[in-house]
Amino acid sequence: MITTRQGIRVLGPADLDDFLALVERDPVVNVFADYRARTTRLQPRWLGGEVWGRYAGGELTSACHVAANLVPIGADVDAARAFAEHAPQRIRSVSTIVGPHEAVETLWNAVAPRWGSPREVRLGQPHLEIRDTPLVPADPGVRRTTRADLDALYPACVAMYTEEVGVSPERGGGADLYRARVAQLVARGWSFARFDAEGRVVFKAEVACSSPYAAQVQGVWVAPAHRGRGVAAAGMAAVVQAVRADIAPVVSLYVNEWNTPARRTYERVGFVESARFTTVML
């Protein structure tokens, strides 16, 4: 659909190997794009959108995932500007632009006059990763959740989302869809939690996406009554151990720059900063 003097076009299944080679230049930072490519084979009907590729000298040099999440991949400033130039007035599917901060900020600054005011912009989010054994003991009470846990787990997921994003995932009739997403993560073995004696969630976290190289954690949450007691550090240590044993060798996440308690927790566990992200919520 997109063919321009900049060498940008929509990628498809025939381009999968080239796309994966691009992603693997920075496989931990690009884990989301890697996961989406492997699970959809770059089929638009499964993507719920498109992946744009930018070519130079016949080589795929950068790309842009354009669905609910718009994510630049391997994009320098020139590539980000080129992707922005060919973005339409507004891509209806896009609710979030996220990725390496320079590319996201460049792209957003270029499309903002046409796309309007964002709901929120989170600049310079530290992207963290851990490749080794955690530096703190793991909480033995953290385990993979099961379908039997869903009724207790779902309210904690709603609470986390609402705290993090600022709106409830149930807004506008979204409860069924969000509950299905939580159930899907549970079924994959990507949901971890610790419960108290009454069956209430004390700590939880999920794997959002994974590849042969890395897994990205999301949704880290501690029940308010248990905060400030080291629950998150011990819980994350348990999640890191489980993920590295069964899912991927490197565990990554990104955190808001202003969230000092969370950053200190991740540092205690052994996470180190490897990049900076920016997120634009539309």
Tens-place pLDDT, residues 160-181: 999 998 899 999 888 999 999 9
pLDDT-derived band of residue 5, with 50, 70 and 90 as boundaries? very low
CATH number of the domain at 143-275, out of 3.40.630.30, 3.30.30.10, 3.90.320.10, 1.10.1740.10?
A: 3.40.630.30
Common-topology check for domains 8-116 and 143-275: yes
CATH 3.40.630 fits 8-116, yes or no: yes
Tens-place pLDDT, residues 227-248: 999 999 999 999 999 999 999 9
Q: Do β-strands 215-222 and 251-254 pair in parallel, antiparallel, or remain unpaired?
A: parallel
Residues with Cβ within 8 Å of residue 237, at least 6 apart in sequence: 134, 135, 136, 137, 138, 139, 269
The strand pairing partners of 201, in sequence order, are: 195
pLDDT-derived band of residue 46, with 50, 70 and 90 as boundaries? very high
Tens-place pLDDT, residues 186-218: 999 999 999 999 999 999 999 999 999 999 999
Mean pLDDT of the chain: 95
What does the alpha-carbon distance between residue 20 and residue 30 come to, in Å, rounded to a whole number? Answer: 10
Tokens of 249: 């060798």
Domain extent listing, the chain: 8-116, 143-275
* Percent of the chain at pLDDT exceeding 90: 91
The predicted structure's pLDDT at residue 226: 96
Per-residue exposure over 157-187, b if at least 16 CB sit within 10 Å of its own CB, e if not: bbbbbeeeeeeebeeeeeeeebbeebbebbe
Q: What's the rounded mean pLDDT across residues 65-90?
A: 94
* Percent of the chain at pLDDT exceeding 70: 98
Predicted model pTM: 0.94
The predicted structure's pLDDT at residue 88: 84
pLDDT at 91 over 90: no
